[in-house]
Amino acid sequence: SLVTRKTKTIGLILPDITNPFFPEVVRGAEDEAHKRGYNIILCNSDWDEEKEQVYLSVLQQQCVDGVILVGTKLSESYLASIAATFPPIVVIDRTIALDMHSISSNNIQGAYVATSHLLAQGCRIIGHIAGPEQSVSARQRMQGYRQALDEAGIPFLPELVVGGDYRMTTGKAAAAELLRRSPQVEGIFCANDLMAIGALEQLREASIRVPRDVAVVGYDGIAMSRYVYPPLTTVVQPTYRMGERAIQLLFDSIERNQPEFQHIELEPLLEIRKSSTRRA
Ligand code: RIB
C-alpha cells in the first residue's frame, strides 16, 4: 500500500525449475510467505548469471519487499555491490562471507558422509561426478569427498573426478567418461541426484550391476530418488526447511528491521538405500 510502501511481494530466483530440488525449496518458502500474507514472484535463471542479473533488476523495478536467491553463482563482490541499494536479500544453498542472511546445508559434511559410506561398503576406487566449478556447493562437496578419501589413506586421483552441470544428461555422460578412464571403479559419489540418476542409466546400458559392480550415491534427496531402480542412496538436504527459514530471516529484515545477519547451516542426512548397499 502507499502508506506502508510495502508491496507484500517477494522475488525468488532459482537456477533450474526442472530440477525437483528447487521446487521443494520453493514449497517451504511459499507456504511460509503465504502464512504472512505475502506473495512470491518466481524467476528461473537457467544457471545463467546474466539472466539472473536481469531478473534482479526486474524485481527491483517491481518494488518487491525482499529477494531470495537460491543457488546463485553471482560473485560475492557483485552481491556486495547491489546490497546497499536493494531490498533485503537472503541467499539459500550457499555460504557467503557478506552482511547478508544465508541458509544452506553443510555440503562438506554431507559429501564426507556419502564418501565414507562408500568406503564402509568396501569400495576403494571411488569416482566423483562433480557439479559446476563456479558453484560453491559443488566445490564444497568435492572437498568433503577428498577429505573422506584422505582420512582413509586413499590418494586422491584427479582422473576419477568428472565434471557435470547438475543435470541428468551430464550425469550420464560423466559416468560413461569415468568408466572409460577407470573401468575398475567400484563406487561413484554424485554431487546431486539428477546426475546420479543419469549415471544409473549409463551403468544399466553398459550392463554394469548396481550396487554389486558399482555402488552409487547421490545428493539432495529429491522425491524421485526413491523411485528409480535400484532406489538411490542419497544425502538428504532439508529443502522445505531451507525455504521456510529463508522467509523467516527475510521477515526479520523487512518487518523488524533486524540488523544482525545470520548464516545458518543445517545438517544433511544420509539415507541409505539399495544403490549402495553391498554389505548387509
Ligand atoms: O541439484 C541441484 C544442486 O544445486 C543441489 O544439490 C543444490 O544444493 C544446488 O547447489
Q: pLDDT confidence of 91, banded at 50, 70, 90? A: very high
Give 84's pLDDT tier (boundaries 50, 70, 90): confident
Mean pLDDT of 84-100: 92
Å from CA of 131 to ligand 1 middle: 8
Taking the centre of ligand 1 as the mean of its atom positions, its distance from the CA of residue 21, in whole angstroms, is: 7
Say if residue 260's pLDDT is above 90. Answer: no
Q: Which residue type, as a one-letter code, is found at position 48?
A: D
Q: Do domains 9-105+238-266 and 107-236+270-276 have the same CATH topology?
A: yes
Q: Which of 3-7, 161-165, 202-206 has the lowest mean pLDDT?
A: 3-7
- 65, 7 in Cβ contact below 8 A? yes
pLDDT at 89: 95
The answer to whether 242 and 101 are in contact (CB under 8 A) is no
What is the share, in percent, of the chain residues with pLDDT greater than 90? 90
DSSP class of residue 180 equals: H
C-alpha cell at 257: 528491521
Could you tell me which residues come within 8 angstroms of residue 5 by beta carbon, excluding any fewer than 6 positions away? none
Q: Bridge partners of 161? A: 128
Q: 279 vs 43, 116, 211, 244, 245, CA distance in Å?
A: 44, 14, 10, 37, 38
pLDDT-derived band at 253 (thresholds 50, 70, 90) equals confident
SS3 152: coil
From the CA of 192, how far away is ligand 1's center (Å)? 6
Mutate to test the pocket of ligand 1, among 219, 232, 242, 265 (most ligand atoms within 8 A of CB): 219
Q: Residue 274 — φ and ψ, nearest 5°?
A: -65, -30
For residue 220, report the distance from its CA to the centre of ligand 1, in Å: 7
User: Which residue is closest in CA terms to ligand 1's atom 10?
Assistant: 137
Domain ranges within the chain, ordered by starting residue: 9-105+238-266, 107-236+270-276
pLDDT of residue 3: 54
Kindly state the DSSP code that residue 223 receives in the 8-state scheme. G
Please indicate whether residue 39 or residue 280 has the higher confidence score (pLDDT): 39
Confidence bin at 4 (pLDDT 50/70/90): low
CA dihedral angle for residue 137, residue 177, residue 222, residue 41, rounded to 10 degrees: 60
Q: Give the per-residue pLDDT at 208.
A: 98
Predicted complex ipTM: 0.97
Which residues lie closer than 8 Å to 37 by C-beta, 6 or more apart? 8
Q: Give, using CA atoms, the residue closest to atom 9 of ligand 1.
A: 71
Q: Give the residue-averaged pLDDT of 197-223.
A: 98
Q: Does domain 107-236+270-276 have CATH number 3.40.50.720?
A: no
- The answer on pLDDT for 1 being more than 50 is no
The C-alpha cell at 237 is 538436504
User: Across residues 71-96, what is the average pLDDT?
Assistant: 92
The one-letter amino acid at 169: T
Mean pLDDT of 129-156: 96
For the domain made up of 9-105+238-266, the CATH class stated in words is alpha beta
Question: Measuring from each residue's beta carbon to the nearest atom of ligand 1, which residues come in under 6 Å?
Answer: 19, 21, 71, 93, 135, 137, 166, 192, 194, 219-220
Q: Report how far residue 211's alpha carbon sits from residue 202's, in angstroms, rounded to the nearest whole number.
A: 14
User: Tens of pLDDT along 168-191?
Assistant: 999 999 999 999 999 999 999 999
Q: Which atom of ligand 1 is nearest to the CA of 191?
A: 6
Listing from the earlier edge strand, what are the strands of the sheet with 89-92? 39-44, 9-14, 66-70, 89-92, 101-105, 263-266
Cα–ligand 1 centroid distance for 1 (angstroms): 36
pLDDT at 256 > cutoff 90: no
On the question of pLDDT at 205 being above 60, the answer is: yes
Q: In angstroms, what is the span from residue 71 Cα to ligand 1's centroid?
A: 7
Q: Which residues pair with 9 in a beta bridge?
A: 39
Tens digits of per-residue pLDDT, 146-173? 999 999 999 999 999 999 999 999 999 9
Count CA within 13 A, CB hemisphere, residue 114.
Answer: 41
Task: Kindly state the cell numbers that stand for 23.
Answer: 521446487
* Mean pLDDT of the chain, nearest integer: 95
Q: What is the DSSP letter of 267?
A: P
